Amino acid sequence: MKLIFGSANRHKLAEVSRILGPTYKVILPEDLGLTEEIPETGDTLAANSLQKASYVWDRFHLPCFADDTGLEVDALGGAPGVHTARYAGEPKSSARNIARLLSELEGVSEEKRTARFRCVVTLIIDGQPTAFDGVCEGRIGFAPVCEDGFGYDPVFIPEGFDCTMSELSMDVKNTLSHRGKAMLQLVCHLSEHHG
């Protein structure tokens, strides 16, 4: 089955392709000639996820999905939340986002640096949207470790681990990550309803 992933992020494409496995061929909108930025103007993760998936569906009328992910830091009242990707402004930059986050958490003790990644994935088949949620609890470290990860992975330490998300293998990350959990629900849904 071919699925269009409403994203321009090749890192995310590799991650979701690995989770979905060989049964599904995942392509990006740009592979079909859609190069403009997909809008995400909602005020919640669910609204953005639905908006992005709907945008792709409206153009191609092919099975598609999109996600929106937010980092919720308890000491910051749930920020950056829906503004996670552009926390430090435009153009979006993981390094600047991390720098702003660490600056705002300066002086906050380790036990008060609890946070979670939340992901909402919206699948649209035959015009019908279905949403899936995934959460990964953890805490924010004091400095970036291992620049291999993308987004906030170099400072996010998942619950039960002593290392950042960016230090984990892709397979381990996919079993515990917010996106991995939401995508596994999507896989179960596809196999039950569209297998």
Q: Which domains does the chain carry?
A: 2-193 (3.90.950.10)
Is residue 29 within 8 A of residue 4, CB to CB? The reply is yes
Chain-centroid distance of CA 151 in Å reads 9
Quick one: pLDDT at residue 15? 85
Residues designated as active site: 68
Residue type at 165 in one-letter notation: M
Is residue 134 within 8 A of residue 119, CB to CB? The reply is yes
Q: What is the pLDDT of residues 53-97, one digit of tens each?
A: 999 999 999 999 999 999 999 999 999 999 998 999 988 899 999
- Distant-in-sequence, close-in-space partners of 194: CB < 8 Å, separation ≥ 6: 1, 63, 125
Beta pairing, strands 128-140 & 114-125: antiparallel
Quick one: pLDDT at residue 142? 97
Query: How far is 134 from 182, CA to CA, in rounded Å?
Result: 4
pTM recorded for the entire structure? 0.88
Quick one: pLDDT at residue 11? 83
pLDDT along the chain (195 residues), means of 10: 93 89 94 93 96 98 96 97 92 92 97 97 97 97 82 95 91 88 94 81
Paired tokens of 141: 């470290």
Is residue 177 within 8 A of residue 153, CB to CB? The reply is no
Quick one: pLDDT at residue 114? 98
